[in-house]
A = this chain, B = another copy of it.
């Protein structure tokens, strides 16, 4: 397979390059950057010496790039993938968009939360949370790769809704992310002097990943789900941990919760169930495509509390993108994704 990356110098693009360097069936033929066109990626990311010695092309080269590629990853800021997507598909390549442009079935939701007109409403794009939408991904031409907060939060809560164990109106997701989720661009909140030894909440009940979580959870629940979602910035680089709260329906036993997680994920390679009373730490997934999940039943309050972790740059971005690539092209979905986590 020949693949290309549009927007290769951000952290998602960089992580795609890292993973693809070890993928036995994919070759990177082109990479682009608008701000550093013409530069060698090895000069931007010195750690890629021995892996990539390749110059950055530009979006202007997209027709040639698409023609030379079987699949193109787009890692651009939201609003920029739709025109690129149209061009790529027109030249016969498949698209995996790491950004938000293709994630919503209803363009009005996208336009409301992202304040940008949707110009590719008939794209036929499929939402690529692989474990939930695998069959659709298999047949897709355009896959919308889920957001980082959304991947881990949906995976954490979905079994509780699928098996009807909780009241959908009571779901609260309190999420904590490392700094890399904000990308490589500069900002005072990501300056080490400000962010180190520090902790803050932001975007409470306003974060754009909220409607994306709701869309998927509503699919699973078969009814509209509205949640509270709070993101926090943690002084670390990689990793997200979502702590999810929901009120159990009357009479639901702890064993039913255990069975729900096992029933939905028992055969999933990339989901590692810790079980009841055992909670994952983010670093246990670092550099890997795993999502680790543990949960607790609190009889005092009647709530279930689920804790789930991922590496936001892998299962939350580039890793799931490669997982989707594998599914779209009929490969074992683990191909290129079998490195053990880097711990400690």
A188 at the interface (CB under 8 A from B): yes
| B179–A196 touching, CB < 8 Å | yes
Please tell me which one of the listed residues B49, B202, B279 contacts residue A202 in the complex, with CB atoms under 8 A apart. B279
Contacts of A300 in B (CB 8 A): 205, 226
| A46–B280 touching, CB < 8 Å | yes
| A283–B198 touching, CB < 8 Å | yes
Among A49, A192, A202, A238: residue with most chain B CB under 10 A: A192
A11 at the interface (CB under 8 A from B): yes
In the complex with contacts A236-B235, A301-B227, A339-B190 CB distance below 8 A: no
- A: residues with CB less than 8 A from B are 11, 14, 17-18, 21-22, 45-51, 172, 174, 176, 178-180, 184, 186-188, 190-202, 204-205, 226-228, 230, 232, 234-239, 241, 243, 245, 269, 272, 274, 279-288, 290, 292, 296, 298, 300-301, 303, 305, 307, 309, 338-344
In the complex with contacts A196-B179, A205-B300, A172-B47 CB distance below 8 A: no
Q: How far is the CA of A286 from the CA of B230 in the complex (A)?
A: 23
| A281–B204 touching, CB < 8 Å | no
| B200–A22 touching, CB < 8 Å | no
